[in-house]
Protein backbone atom coordinates (compact mmCIF):
# COMPACT_ATOMS: atom_id res chain seq x y z
CA UNK A 1 0.00 0.00 0.00
CA UNK A 2 2.91 2.22 0.62
CA UNK A 3 3.88 1.99 -3.06
CA UNK A 4 0.35 2.78 -3.99
CA UNK A 5 0.44 6.04 -1.95
CA UNK A 6 3.79 6.96 -3.42
CA UNK A 7 2.57 6.40 -6.95
CA UNK A 8 -0.59 8.29 -6.15
CA UNK A 9 1.41 11.24 -4.79
CA UNK A 10 3.66 11.25 -7.88
CA UNK A 11 0.61 11.16 -10.12
CA UNK A 12 -0.93 14.07 -8.22
CA UNK A 13 2.28 16.09 -8.62
CA UNK A 14 2.41 15.32 -12.35
CA UNK A 15 -1.25 16.27 -12.64
CA UNK A 16 -0.61 19.57 -10.87
CA UNK A 17 2.33 20.33 -13.15
CA UNK A 18 0.21 19.58 -16.22
CA UNK A 19 -2.54 21.82 -14.81
CA UNK A 20 0.00 24.66 -14.45
CA UNK A 21 1.19 24.19 -18.04
CA UNK A 22 -2.40 24.11 -19.26
CA UNK A 23 -3.28 27.28 -17.34
CA UNK A 24 -0.21 29.03 -18.75
CA UNK A 25 -1.21 28.01 -22.28
CA UNK A 26 -4.78 29.25 -21.74
CA UNK A 27 -3.45 32.52 -20.34
CA UNK A 28 -1.27 32.88 -23.42
CA UNK A 29 -4.23 32.22 -25.71
CA UNK A 30 -6.34 34.80 -23.86
CA UNK A 31 -3.84 37.53 -24.64
CA UNK A 32 -4.34 39.12 -28.07
CA UNK A 33 -1.61 38.61 -30.63
CA UNK A 34 -0.11 41.70 -32.22
CA UNK A 35 0.91 41.06 -35.82
CA UNK A 36 3.08 43.46 -37.72
CA UNK A 37 2.22 43.89 -41.38
CA UNK A 38 4.03 41.49 -43.73
CA UNK A 39 6.02 40.13 -40.84
CA UNK A 40 5.46 36.82 -39.17
CA UNK A 41 6.56 37.87 -35.69
CA UNK A 42 3.84 37.08 -33.16
CA UNK A 43 4.06 38.93 -29.85
CA UNK A 44 1.52 38.58 -27.08
CA UNK A 45 -0.06 41.87 -26.12
CA UNK A 46 -0.65 42.54 -22.42
CA UNK A 47 -3.01 45.45 -23.07
CA UNK A 48 -6.25 43.59 -22.55
CA UNK A 49 -7.59 40.11 -21.99
CA UNK A 50 -10.49 39.01 -24.16
CA UNK A 51 -12.77 36.05 -24.57
CA UNK A 52 -10.67 32.99 -25.51
CA UNK A 53 -13.10 31.98 -28.27
CA UNK A 54 -13.06 35.44 -29.77
CA UNK A 55 -9.29 35.48 -29.53
CA UNK A 56 -9.02 32.11 -31.22
CA UNK A 57 -11.28 33.26 -34.04
CA UNK A 58 -9.30 36.47 -34.38
CA UNK A 59 -6.06 34.49 -34.36
CA UNK A 60 -7.43 32.13 -37.02
CA UNK A 61 -8.53 35.03 -39.19
CA UNK A 62 -5.12 36.66 -38.78
CA UNK A 63 -3.44 33.39 -39.65
CA UNK A 64 -5.74 33.03 -42.66
CA UNK A 65 -4.88 36.58 -43.71
CA UNK A 66 -1.19 35.82 -43.23
CA UNK A 67 -1.57 32.66 -45.32
CA UNK A 68 -3.19 34.69 -48.09
CA UNK A 69 -0.49 37.33 -47.73
CA UNK A 70 2.23 34.66 -47.90
CA UNK A 71 0.60 33.17 -50.98
CA UNK A 72 0.52 36.62 -52.60
CA UNK A 73 4.13 37.25 -51.65
CA UNK A 74 5.16 33.86 -53.03
CA UNK A 75 3.34 34.61 -56.28
CA UNK A 76 5.06 38.01 -56.47
CA UNK A 77 8.41 36.37 -55.75
CA UNK A 78 7.73 33.80 -58.45
CA UNK A 79 6.84 36.57 -60.92
CA UNK A 80 10.00 38.45 -60.01
CA UNK A 81 12.04 35.25 -60.33
CA UNK A 82 10.54 34.67 -63.79
CA UNK A 83 11.34 38.26 -64.76
CA UNK A 84 14.89 37.81 -63.52
CA UNK A 85 15.23 34.56 -65.46
CA UNK A 86 14.08 36.33 -68.63
CA UNK A 87 16.44 39.22 -67.93
CA UNK A 88 19.26 36.73 -67.36
CA UNK A 89 18.49 34.98 -70.66
CA UNK A 90 18.48 38.38 -72.40
CA UNK A 91 21.80 39.29 -70.79
CA UNK A 92 23.32 35.97 -71.84
CA UNK A 93 22.10 36.61 -75.40
CA UNK A 94 23.51 40.14 -75.33
CA UNK A 95 26.84 38.85 -74.03
CA UNK A 96 26.98 36.28 -76.81
CA UNK A 97 26.19 39.01 -79.35
CA UNK A 98 28.92 41.23 -77.89
CA UNK A 99 31.41 38.37 -78.02
CA UNK A 100 30.44 37.62 -81.62
CA UNK A 101 30.76 41.32 -82.52
CA UNK A 102 34.12 41.47 -80.74
CA UNK A 103 35.35 38.51 -82.83
CA UNK A 104 34.11 40.23 -86.00
CA UNK A 105 35.92 43.41 -84.99
CA UNK A 106 39.12 41.46 -84.29
CA UNK A 107 38.92 39.91 -87.77
CA UNK A 108 38.21 43.31 -89.33
CA UNK A 109 41.15 44.75 -87.40
CA UNK A 110 43.45 42.00 -88.67
CA UNK A 111 42.25 42.62 -92.21
CA UNK A 112 42.86 46.36 -91.87
CA UNK A 113 46.36 45.70 -90.50
CA UNK A 114 47.07 43.45 -93.49
CA UNK A 115 45.77 46.13 -95.88
CA UNK A 116 47.93 48.75 -94.16
CA UNK A 117 51.00 46.54 -94.53
CA UNK A 118 50.19 46.04 -98.22
CA UNK A 119 49.77 49.80 -98.71
CA UNK A 120 53.07 50.45 -96.95
CA UNK A 121 54.78 47.90 -99.23
CA UNK A 122 53.24 49.57 -102.31
CA UNK A 123 54.23 52.98 -100.98
CA UNK A 124 57.81 51.79 -100.57
CA UNK A 125 57.72 50.33 -104.09
CA UNK A 126 56.40 53.64 -105.48
CA UNK A 127 59.14 55.55 -103.65
CA UNK A 128 61.78 53.23 -105.14
CA UNK A 129 60.22 53.58 -108.60
CA UNK A 130 60.14 57.38 -108.25
CA UNK A 131 63.82 57.39 -107.26
CA UNK A 132 64.65 55.19 -110.26
CA UNK A 133 62.59 57.47 -112.50
CA UNK A 134 64.44 60.54 -111.20
CA UNK A 135 67.79 58.85 -111.88
CA UNK A 136 66.60 57.84 -115.36
CA UNK A 137 65.32 61.37 -116.03
CA UNK A 138 68.63 62.91 -114.96
CA UNK A 139 70.46 60.41 -117.14
CA UNK A 140 68.18 61.19 -120.10
CA UNK A 141 68.62 64.96 -119.58
CA UNK A 142 72.40 64.51 -119.42
CA UNK A 143 72.28 62.41 -122.59
CA UNK A 144 70.17 65.10 -124.29
CA UNK A 145 72.65 67.83 -123.31
CA UNK A 146 75.56 65.74 -124.56
CA UNK A 147 73.72 65.10 -127.85
CA UNK A 148 72.98 68.80 -128.22
CA UNK A 149 76.64 69.70 -127.55
CA UNK A 150 77.79 66.99 -129.96
CA UNK A 151 75.44 68.16 -132.69
CA UNK A 152 76.44 71.77 -132.15
CA UNK A 153 80.11 70.85 -132.40
CA UNK A 154 79.54 68.62 -135.40
CA UNK A 155 77.41 71.25 -137.06
CA UNK A 156 80.16 73.83 -136.58
CA UNK A 157 82.84 71.41 -137.72
CA UNK A 158 80.90 70.46 -140.81
CA UNK A 159 79.53 73.92 -141.60
CA UNK A 160 82.83 75.76 -141.51
CA UNK A 161 84.61 73.63 -144.13
CA UNK A 162 81.40 73.24 -146.07
CA UNK A 163 81.02 77.00 -146.30
CA UNK A 164 84.57 77.18 -147.59
CA UNK A 165 83.91 74.49 -150.19
CA UNK A 166 80.67 76.11 -151.32
CA UNK A 167 82.34 79.50 -151.49
CA UNK A 168 85.15 78.18 -153.68
CA UNK A 169 82.66 76.20 -155.78
CA UNK A 170 80.76 79.43 -156.41
CA UNK A 171 83.98 81.14 -157.48
CA UNK A 172 84.80 78.32 -159.81
CA UNK A 173 81.52 78.78 -161.60
CA UNK A 174 82.46 82.22 -162.64
CA UNK A 175 84.32 82.11 -166.00
CA UNK A 176 86.04 85.33 -165.68
CA UNK A 177 88.15 84.79 -162.75
CA UNK A 178 91.52 86.30 -162.55
CA UNK A 179 94.34 84.97 -160.54
CA UNK A 180 93.94 87.35 -157.84
CA distance 172 to 166: 10
SS3 52: helix
CA distance 21 to 26: 9
Which residues are CB-contacts of 46 (< 8 A; sequence separation ≥ 6)?
31
At 52, the pLDDT band (50, 70, 90 cuts) reads very low
Q: Which residues pair with 149 in a beta bridge?
A: none
- Ramachandran angles phi, psi of 37, nearest 5°: -60, 135
Please answer whether residues 43 and 62 qualify as being in contact, where contact means their C-beta atoms are separated by less than 8 angstroms.
Answer: no
Does the pLDDT at position 64 exceed 50?
Answer: yes
Between 170 and 133, the higher pLDDT residue: 133
CA distance 170 to 163: 10
Threshold 0.85, pTM exceeds:
no
Which residues are CB-contacts of 172 (< 8 A; sequence separation ≥ 6)?
none
Mean pLDDT of the chain: 80
CA distance 97 to 80: 25
Distance, CA of 69 to chain centre: 42
pLDDT in tens, 95-132: 999 999 999 999 999 999 999 999 999 999 999 999 99
Amino acid sequence: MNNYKKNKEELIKELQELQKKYDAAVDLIKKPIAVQERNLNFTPSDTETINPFYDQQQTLSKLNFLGIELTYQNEEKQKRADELRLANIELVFQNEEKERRAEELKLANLELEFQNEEKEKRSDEYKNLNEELLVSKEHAEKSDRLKSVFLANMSHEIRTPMNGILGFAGLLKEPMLTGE
